[in-house]
Amino acid sequence: MVELSPNPFVTAQSVTPILLVIGTRPEAIKMLPVVRALRECSEVDLKVVTTGQHRQMLDQVFAVFDERPDIDLDLMTPDQSLADITSRVLHEMSALIEKHRPGLVMVHGDTTSAMAAALAAFYAKVPVGHVEAGLRSHDIMRPWPEEYNRISIDAIAQLLWAPTKGAAQNLRNERPESVFGDRQIEITGNTGIDALLHVAGGLTGDELNSLPVKLDARRKLVLVTGHRRESFGSGFARICDALERIAARGDTQIIYPVHLNPQVKDVVEARLGAIEAVHLIPPVDYVQMVALMNRARIVLTDSGGIQEEAPALGKPVLVMRDVTERPEAVATGVASLVGTDTGRIVDAVGRLLSDKEHYASCARAVFPYGDGTAARRIAESVVGFVKDHAR
């Protein structure tokens, strides 16, 4: 564990210490707008903690937001298992909570890092605040292990910031109280939209010049991301089959920033590496990902964050999962579930590329996940909470 020198954004000692935990790149994207909002609140002494679960990708996102962690647990190891992550985060966060004695521990979403950090706070009888609370696929194995993680965090959290009305209703349906008394459920919108609008508003058009491939303006760009654990093995084999068939059309260019996990990277490179119209590139930074989404004709993904972001940019989204905890985009018609079935993926892409009316109905900007002010709402909620508990 490394505790860094005092962060220059903290200008004064505040009343209530708060630990805000970030593990993966998607967590960083969605938590850093909250960090920026809380840095401006004199009522809290914020300490940003990273577990280092996505080391290289995490550093990129911090740089985009001109931020840095206060404490780096540096827990990343090659080929670590879920049990490894859980035990390391639980042990290190328990020690950190004992040292800093925070009035609140904040986590985001559904990662194993978030679950273990929340559990450490629960063991120490410290209140938990959960950003992006209440999402449910209602299938404990899909996504796996994320559905369990989010349920377990919400079971012990006192402050629950739900991105949508549906997420808030999920929370109300489950249990009315937390282990610390009455729960506070607030609909805030999704902080990922805050981050997206911040970055998209600053795009210059030069962000893709440094990509290792040259985009062909004559071909329709299909952007692909895929990394879900439940698709390891046969699921990714079917996805690769679909991408090979889409590439064979001759009118598409597929860009796939490949996740570093060997169970994704090794399979995808072996199956698609020699196909001319499929470009497998290393993970891109967040600004480049936003620029790629903005340029793409279609987005094909299993990512939760991209399910939220691409609709805001007016891009049709095909979700390579059978169920989703983000039904709002599907309800608008701009997103569709295609699973990992080769035929469904190929047919859905083909229809979007050949049916102009269908494409137009899907390629429209919608904002079911908020208006870009979620981080401010969460910061105001935190300040209210610490003031109430300081009395």
- Cα angle, residue 101 at apex, residues 39 and 163 outer, rounded to 5°: 50
Would you call 259 a catalytic residue per the annotation? yes
As to burial, measured by CB atoms within 10 angstroms (0-12 exposed, 13-18 middle, 19+ buried), residue 263 is middle
Token pair, residue 336, equals 């569709």
Q: Which of 227, 297, 321, 326 is catalytic?
A: 227
Annotation says 229 is catalytic: yes
DSSP H/E element including 254? strand 252-257
Active-site annotation holds for 146: yes
- Cα–Cα dist 76/84, whole Å: 10
DSSP element (H, E) containing 168: helix 165-174
Contact 326, 387 (CB under 8 A): no
Of 27, 70, 132, 328, which residue is the catalytic one?
A: 132
Residue type, 292: L
Distance CA 15, CA 388 (A): 12
Instruction: Please pick, among 198, 219, 229, 351, the residue that the annotation labels catalytic.
Output: 229
**Catalytic member of 100, 150, 228, 259:** 259
The DSSP element (H or E) to which 362 belongs, if any, is: helix 356-362
The residues pairing with 16 across neighbouring beta strands, listed in sequence order, are 44
**List 110, 147, 241, 302, catalytic entry:** 110
132 included as an active-site residue: yes
Set 45, 146, 154, 194: catalytic member: 146
> Is 110 in the active site?
yes
Residues 6 or more apart whose Cβ sits within 8 Å of residue 136: 147, 150, 151, 167, 170, 325
Q: CA–CA separation, 342 vs 329, rounded Å? A: 22
CA dist., res. 101 & res. 139, Å (int) = 36
359, two tokens: 């494409």
Q: Exposed, middle or buried: residue 380 (CB in 10 Å: 0-12, 13-18, 19+)?
A: middle
Q: Does 227 participate in catalysis according to the annotation?
A: yes
For the annotated catalytic residues, the residue numbers are: 110, 132, 146, 227, 229, 259
